[in-house]
Amino acid sequence: MTERFTVSLDRELAEAFERYRQRLGYGSRSEAIRDLLRGFLARQRADEDPDVGCVGILTYIYDHHQRDLAGQLTDAQHDHHDLSVATLHVHLDHDHCLETSVLRGPLGRVRKFSDQFIARRGVRHGDLHLVPVTVAQDQHPHDDQGRDASGGRHEHITPHD
């Protein structure tokens, strides 16, 4: 069921929103507002419960020549292997690397790990994007024959609206 409501904005904010909507290619203001509200409300719910599950994308740039920084970052990821799903490493130039890490776990722990990571001396342009999720254990096969090497046991991770 859809509910309509009216929003009044000052001209400058309305024009900035319209530029945002067009730049991202939204077909309507309504869809852009829905996405903004979903994101805002998901972050609000997440802030209320640090134990809620989440997936996160941590991005940062660092100078790999800085004294042992690359080793410290790698050690931190190994120390938190329960949160770290995967990391993509990109060489930007002769000195700088960009990394994107996919994280998963309780939101409070993911946020704390990311904040400590971003705050390290030599890490720049750090940013964390979080999506609260529900993690459920499930059991059913995923192959053509109705078989699965794991016995069909696995997790389903569903993002919150």
46: closest CA among 91, 1, 111? 111
| % of the chain beyond a pLDDT of 70 | 92
Residues 110-151: tens digit of each pLDDT: 999 999 989 999 999 999 998 889 888 877 776 666 566 666
The C-alpha torsion from 120 through 121 and 124 to 129, rounded to 10°, is: 10
Mean pLDDT lowest for which of 62-71, 73-82, 140-149? Answer: 140-149
Per-residue pLDDT at 28 exceeds 70? yes
Query: Predicted confidence band at 17 (pLDDT cuts at 50, 70, 90)?
Result: very high
Report which residue type is found at 88.
L
Coil vs helix vs strand at 96: strand
Domains (range + CATH), the chain: 11-48 (1.10.1220), 53-136 (3.30.70.1150)
161: buried, middle or exposed (CB in 10 Å: 19+, 13-18, 0-12)?
exposed
